[in-house]
Amino acid sequence: MRTGRGPAILARQDHRREWDDHYWWSADGVRLHARLYPGPEEAAALPPILCMPGLARNARDFEAVAPHMAARRRVIVAEFRGRGESAYAKDPMTYVPLTYVQDMVALLDELGIGRFATVGTSLGGLVSMLMAASLPGRLAGALLNDVGPELESAGLDRIRDYIGVGGSQPTWMHAARAFRDLNHAVFPHYGIHDWLRLTKRTHRLTPEGRIVADYDKQIAAPLRLPAGDGVDLWPAYRAFGDAPVQILRGALSDILAGRAAAKMAAALPGARLVEVPGVGHAPTMDEPEARAAIDAWIADLPAA
């Protein structure tokens, strides 16, 4: 079970007026965590935005963009089981998208939310598509960050190679350099201070004073199972219907190919595609191009 919470505590001190911590229970008894950003009073009746991070990420992934969105809408930043302040699952085979959907539905139901929009990075975007398919009429819109119904096998293999490998570093600077060595191709123009910022979003300080990735290494267990024929996610993607769908693609992405992103944009009447230059999988959404796309997407979200 995760015990060290250094980065999370620091983040709360920096942003203590911006969010409230919320904890809820999954159907199988896992205590889960989310950050709730209240948004402006005039947005109280509008469908809120549910943010869901990538495979090895947590709520800190949205520490800059969530307050930006919360200037116009209520924002909920959820942490999947086994990440951040959400507890680790006893059964590693529950680290799968369908379980994450169930966990998110439990959160929305507890908060009394009917209609909502989603912002999903990578895995979070897959969960968003599955929610559109399983909760007809409830999604008011979606932003898919470098993910879609067609994913590149080379990028998926790259992720499988490093997820759950483990290891620790003695200082934040050591951890930032190690993280840079692993992910340089994703953000080739980053300097060491950029890597330090990103490392503090994705890692934590243990009680022993070591820096480790902030997730349960067992999230990799389902990825080690023999690959089948895969699931056709195009019906789930099309379940967004005519809702506003913003597709963000890192121009250097090895997960979402340009041709697949263009096909996505053409498949739905409310879909728009923006490429974020100079980054791979996945944009942090702090980039100017991403922020402009987010603002335009929020402006298009329905009022009910």
Sole residue written with tokens 């007026």: 17
Sole residue written with tokens 């022993």: 208
Sole residue written with tokens 């999370």: 8
Predicted TM-score of the model (pTM): 0.93
> Which tokens sit at 192?
């060491």
Sole residue written with tokens 């009394």: 112
The total number of structural domains that make up the chain: 1
Domain boundaries, position 94: 6-161+228-300
- Any domain includes 109: yes
- Any domain includes 287: yes
Residue 116 pairs with which residues in a beta bridge? 139
pLDDT in tens, the chain (304 residues): 443 333 333 333 344 569 999 999 999 999 999 999 999 999 999 999 999 999 999 999 999 999 999 999 999 999 999 999 999 999 999 999 999 999 999 999 999 999 999 999 999 999 999 999 999 999 999 999 999 999 999 999 999 888 988 789 999 999 999 999 999 999 999 999 999 999 999 999 999 999 999 999 999 999 988 765 678 999 999 999 999 999 999 999 999 999 999 999 999 999 999 999 999 999 999 999 999 999 999 999 999 9
- Any domain includes 212: no
- Any domain includes 49: yes
| CATH number for position 288 | 3.40.50.1820
Tens of pLDDT, residues 137-193: 999 999 999 999 999 999 999 998 889 887 899 999 999 999 999 999 999 999 999
- Any domain includes 183: no
